[in-house]
Amino acid sequence: MRSGRPNGNMRPRKKRYLVVTNGEVTEPQYFKGLEKELGDVVIEVRSYRKDPSALAAAAKDLKDREANASNSSGNRGVDGFQRVFVVTDVDDFTVKQFQDARRICKNEGMELIITNPCFEVWLVDHLVCCPGAYTEAKDVERKAAELGIVGGSRDKHVDYARIEGKRGQACENASIHNTDERKRKRSQLNSLDFGPWTDMPAVIVRFDGKKRK
C-alpha cells in the first residue's frame, strides 16, 4: 500500500554491489574510492585471505545470506545485490583453483574478475598503459609506486585522488595490453601466462551502465 507520500519525495535506491576479494588493503581502498566517486552505487567489500576457489565459495555464502535477508518479512525494504564480483590476482595460485572459482561463479551467476599478475595493473592503467613486458608483480607494483598511485606501508595504500575521474582512460589502456592472444588464454584458463591482464573494465561497464570502447 502507498504511504501517502508524494512520489516526488521518494529517492531512488542506490544499486548495491558486492565485491569479495583476497586483497587486504589495495582492493578495498580502491573500491571504496570508486564508490565515493560514482556516488549513485553502494559497493560492499569483503576481504578474505583465501585462494580463488575458496574466495568464490565465500562469495556464494554471502550472496545466499543476502538473498535470504532480502526475502524475509522483516527486510522487505532491503534490495539484494545487483551483481557479485569475485576479485583476485594471480599470486601463487594454481590453475585448478581458478578453474574451480570459475565454475562456482558461473553456477551462481557471479563474475570472476582476474588481474594478472596483480591488481596494480589496473591502477597503473589509469595513468599509463601497463607495459606489456610487466608479467611479474614486483614490476607492476614498483610502477604503481613510481606513479604515486600507491604508497604507505609496503606501497599498498591507494591515493585515489591520483586516479579519480580516469576510469575511462584506464579501460582504454587496458584494451591495449589485453591482447587477443591474452584474451584467448584468459578465456580458456588452462594456464596463467596471460599477464599483464585485467578484467576490471567489465566491472566498470556494470557500474557505469554502458559499454566503453
Predicted pLDDT at 210: 52
Residue 68 domain-assigned (yes or no): yes
Q: Could you read off the pLDDT of 141-155 as tens digits, one per residue?
A: 999 999 999 999 889
Predicted pLDDT at 35: 97
Residue 8 domain-assigned (yes or no): no
Q: Rounded CA gap, 36 and 130, in Å?
A: 25
Q: Could you read off the pLDDT of 38-85 as tens digits, one per residue?
A: 999 999 999 999 999 999 999 999 999 988 876 664 555 456 899 999
Question: Amino acid identity of 22?
Answer: N
Q: Rounded CA gap, 131 and 158, in Å?
A: 20
Q: Are 24 and 47 in contact (CB under 8 A)?
A: yes
Angle at 103 between CA 24 and CA 99, to 5 degrees: 70
Residue 109 domain-assigned (yes or no): yes
Residue 1 domain-assigned (yes or no): no
Q: Provide, rounded to the nearest whole percent, the portion of the chain with pLDDT above 70.
A: 88
Strand partners, 17: 43, 83
**How many domains, the chain?**
1
**CA-based end-to-end distance of the chain:** 44
Q: Rounded CA gap, 30 and 50, in Å?
A: 19
CATH number assigned to the domain comprising residue 118: 3.40.50
pTM (whole model) above 0.85: yes
Strand partners, 87: 21, 113
Residue 4 domain-assigned (yes or no): no
Domain that holds residue 145: 14-208
